[in-house]
Chain A
Amino acid sequence: MISERTQAAIDRFKSKADGPLLEIEGIRKEFPGVVALDDVRLSLRRGTVHALMGENGAGKSTLMKIIAGIYTPERGTIRLRGDEVTLSGPLDALERGIAMIHQELALMPYMTVAENIWIRREPLNRLGLVDHAAMARRTRDLFARLNIAIDPLTEVRFLTVAQRQMVEIAKAVSYDSDVLIMDEPTSALTETEVAHLFAIIRDLKSRGIGIVYITHKMNELFEIADEFSVFRDGRYVGTHASNEVTRDDIIRMMVGRDITDMFPKEPADISDTILSVDGLSLDGVFHDISFDLRKGEILGLAGLVGSGRSNVAEALFGVTPATSGRIRIDGQAVRIASPADAMKHGMAFLTEDRKETGCFLPLSILENMQLAMLQDQNVRLGFVEQRAVNRQCAEMRETLRVKTPSMDERIENLSGGNQQKVLIARWLLTRPRILILDEPTRGIDVGAKAEIHRLISRLAGQGVAVIMISSELPEVLGMSDRIMVMHEGHMTGILDRAEADQVKIMELAAR
């Protein structure tokens, strides 16, 4: 054990000289029916952040999983600190100093935060038993270093998505590895936490760690990355220093065309009030929320993580019904005790947690897409009118550019961004009058994002009322007609499109 460590230290020292930390060449990876990667390369230097860009399904996560020892490539070489290596599995990768934060959260819900972080590396006492006190202490130390305020003894299932993400980050950091892979670590974070994460990353950089960073957010690229590589359709496109290029250059490399307008907000004809919320509260979670929503209007919902935005949306849709307050639709007081009730009133709700409340992982894309639309119009005598449904689903697949060989593919095998598109399709297919979107473009590439924005805008133009929760302020600002800001379960203000800007929102959100 000790000799192994020493050896590793010696190795690190030797390679410290210079030359890339990690070098990858000629990698090919196939899944049945899909070539996910073909002849790709990547070179990571010490003390740098190397961003990986590309459309959804370009193969970014797949490459990272190869580096982390989870997949074995069909072809290609991996050189770590100058030596060619063959990774026999995740453990091998970890022991060689490669750690990874996964795109899909991978925590054990019924274990504590500390247990999750130190799994397989639990501190033992003299009897060889797990020393829980030491483990908690170590976690506190780690969290103190990273400036994270989460109780190490809480079970992970009680944490919000954002907190879980921070735990994942802490866990990956705790391996003290040379190579750190981050697969869309900020998709569940708001700007404050993102800033926090960047502080951590800068610190790691200064210690000589090399970081591969996957993101779909352009601004992050310029802020944190030293250089970046672009993949398209499983192929390597190019590598550049991030200060040499512009946003549009990158988008062109990624998508192969220009995207002029990220927020194609069309002026909609905002008419009658369709939804009216009055004094809505859920004991201990949020309080006294009141607002009106009109046809054709897009209402943005901004706030920090944990401010209760998702809870309000869940209450409106009957997932966790509110304990007091009143909801009126078309002026009629309604009781929404379950999502089924909400759907009867023409509501639709894209949830924020793709894995927990979104995807039916073992089922096909088609099944996933069609499920919510199987109300009266697409079902006759209990039988699904499959031909009509298939047609609508196929159209939606085109519109949203879902990248898949077939609609019968399991959604499990799709890339994260493509799963998100399928879920958006599920709700659009119900032809809602009130559409609630919680982080709709999480994990979606720029091209598709603009597409989805255009779609939302078009729906609003057709008179659909939209509530959109987003942790990306530019998105909220770019798309909303009005913006409601929340702070710790309270509504702190509603801003009009004209008067809203980042500063005002942050003031209301942080107060």
Chain B
Amino acid sequence: EKIGVAMSLFDDNFLTVLRHNIQRHADEMGVEVQMEDAQGDIARQQSQIENFAASGVDGIITMLVDADSGRAMSKIAEEAGVPLVFVNMLPANMETFPEKQAWVGSDEEQAGRLEATEVCKLLEGKGKAVILLGQLGTTGQRGRTKATEEVLAGADCKGIEVLDQQTANWMRTPALDLMTNWITSGMQPDAVISNNDEMALGAIQALKSAGVSMDDVVISGVDATQDALSAMETGDLDVTVYQSAKGQGEGALETVLKIARGETFDQRVTVPFELVTPQNLADYKARN
């Protein structure tokens, strides 16, 4: 069996892990997979899915560039009669899926909620925070930020003041620069809430070189990448959220095969996010 995998972006750390998990699982099962990189472009992804359909694959797995583009992708696959499984990102047309389509993933807002709630707890509901945003307009940025804002607006966390929020495009160096700029402007946040781990790591570097003690600031991210877990080990990073690349990858592959083989399948498979803190760090060190 041949499965086409259309990923939104190869450069992203978490997606790389997800991709490797799909590949590894496919190798174990003797399934042939072909990966494509949409480089963050919806139209490119659309074309790749069309190309897969035209070259006659048995099924397609896609990690969408954006949730709202789900409908167009569904239509292509439906017309070609090819099974389609969305992985990780929840498509906007989830409720109106045609046959032979499913979603396997996690809810971005849940990640933001877990992260912000834990930060709020560590701050005991009061203090000053800055938010590091991912690339503006992306689903991850929107979902995680929205949940974070909701949590901080909640009754328990109202005491936390958001000093500023700016984008660092998911990347470490821009976050390093942004944080340094904040520090020089005289901001002394008690918490840095980041849309992902890479940016959190950049913030840590900036704070460290400004001589801020890592015990005084709560730093949080999402993804639980290797670099992030190492940073947590050394006590720099306080909170991250584990997204099971393994669970999503294997689930997606198995679901698409089920559809292709005409077996019964679930249209919605959720792999929950899990909160990672120094207390349960050891459980995750070996996972990804």
Asked whether the complex places CB atoms of A and B closer than 8 A, the reply is no
